[in-house]
Structure 1
């Protein structure tokens, strides 16, 4: 019997490609493209700026493939962006109580997303969506601490197979005007799965259980679905990224 040659270890089998555009954004790309095309016949001097705007809208709604680390005792970043705050805070009222995250203060890791970041958000753990709580509010700069209490926001609570509950919050910002959820209570999700999107600049907060230590530092950039932001029983990473 003829032997089957196997490719040597390290042989590349994946090629780079342009990220897909998330379905939530395709209509906006189509609208921008239509306006750019119309300007060609009406005000052709603004056609090129509108073409660049179309590419910008497409880039905003890009939805790249992510490879999520596998294993126990890890929390995965729910958002692309800059870690701007790591501090112990009182829980938002919506996340308090025995059916939520309890009453004790928790460490909050805040990830700020600029308009240049990917805005598709992902769940930090595998489990069941227990709560999705939407709250209308203001549109302050999402980088401000008070934005977590005053801005439009949406809380998620995910419970894993061992009963661990993780809460994270999508917060709208100055430019963001819509928080979109892809899941509902009762849905099963796996770590790194897409759960929502915030349009045009915003922030995501993650609340760490007491026995989880932050694995990111202030100023560090995270990648949704890939960066490990906290680990159970580990030592906290300290310092400020330069």
Structure 2
């Protein structure tokens, strides 16, 4: 009888935690104050940096095959940088504008729920805060993606939301032609997943793989 009661208590506790995470925790909207730093590029989301890779001739070199950045993100980037941020289940689910600029939105390729973003062991590493490279996962190129491009004088930037096996599940706020300020909310991510930041060549990354970043507050790059 005691074991049955303990089991039922643990089931009830787990159900309550799942309900809280699904219906309360993921909808939190903390106040974010962007730092007043000239030339700063802010993190577009909360999460863990999984890769920082150079873009050359519109591609990121990878052992399997080079990644075509315009095809992946919708950003016409010949030279620059590609940053990947893993947004975990306990992270704030809002996406933020890394800089100010004029918005251009692109729903760019992929299909809903076609592939996982990470194998089980890779996902486990990410969930405990250990770095794991998601650049070569099938879900990166196969899954549904949405990009907001910010057009500005210093160079265009792109924030790409990549869906997992369950789809993208995101709501985007920016509309084409809208003037966006740095740190303003761009989207709400219904699920954890991957956020890509495409930077022009004159932006120098300030973070490394394994760093924890805070959306709209952490400076991830500086314009030179």
Q: Which residue of the partner structure matches residue 54 of structure 1? A: 19
Q: Which has the larger radius of gyration?
A: 1
Note the alpha carbon deviations across 1:87-107, whole angstroms, 9 max, x for none. 1241132656xxx534x1431
Gaps of 5+ in 1: 1-42, 234-242
Cα distance, 1:54–1:108 mapped onto 2, change above 3 Å:
same
Point out 4+ residue stretches in structure 1 off by more than 6 angstroms: none
1:127 aligns with 2:118: no
Q: Which residue of the partner structure matches residue 111 of structure 1? A: 85
Equivalent position SS for 2:220: strand
Normalization by structure 2: what TM-score? 0.74
Equivalent residue for 1:151, pick from 126, 134, 143 = 143
CA root-mean-square deviation: 2.4
Q: Which residue of the partner structure matches residue 93 of structure 1? A: 71
Task: Indicate conservation of the 8 Å contact 2:42/2:219, yes or no.
Answer: yes
Alignment of 1:148-187 (within 5 A): 148-160=140-152, 162=153, 164-175=155-166, 177-187=168-178
1:221 aligns with 2:212: yes
Normalization by structure 1: what TM-score? 0.69
Cα distance, 1:106–1:150 mapped onto 2, change above 3 Å:
farther
Alignment of 1:76-91 (within 5 A): 76-89=42-55, 90=59, 91=69
RCO comparison, higher one (Cα < 8 Å, 6+): 2
How far off its partner does 1:204 sit?
A: 0.6
Greater mean alpha carbon deviation, residues 134-143 or residues 52-61: 134-143
Task: Indicate conservation of the 8 Å contact 1:92/1:149, yes or no.
Answer: no
Aligned mates of 1:46, 1:101 — CA distance in 2: 50
Aligned mates of 1:232, 1:140 — CA distance in 2: 34
**Total equivalences in the alignment:** 186
Cα distance, 1:47–1:200 mapped onto 2, change above 3 Å:
same
How far off its partner does 1:169 sit?
A: 0.6
How far off its partner does 1:135 sit?
A: 3.1
Task: Indicate conservation of the 8 Å contact 1:176/1:198, yes or no.
Answer: no
Equivalent position SS for 1:63: coil
Gaps of 5+ in 2: 1-7, 60-68, 119-133
How far off its partner does 1:182 sit?
A: 1.3
Note the alpha carbon deviations across 1:182-216, whole angstroms, 9 max, x for none. 12111121101111122221011111211111000
Equivalent position SS for 2:217: coil
How far off its partner does 1:133 sit?
A: 2.4
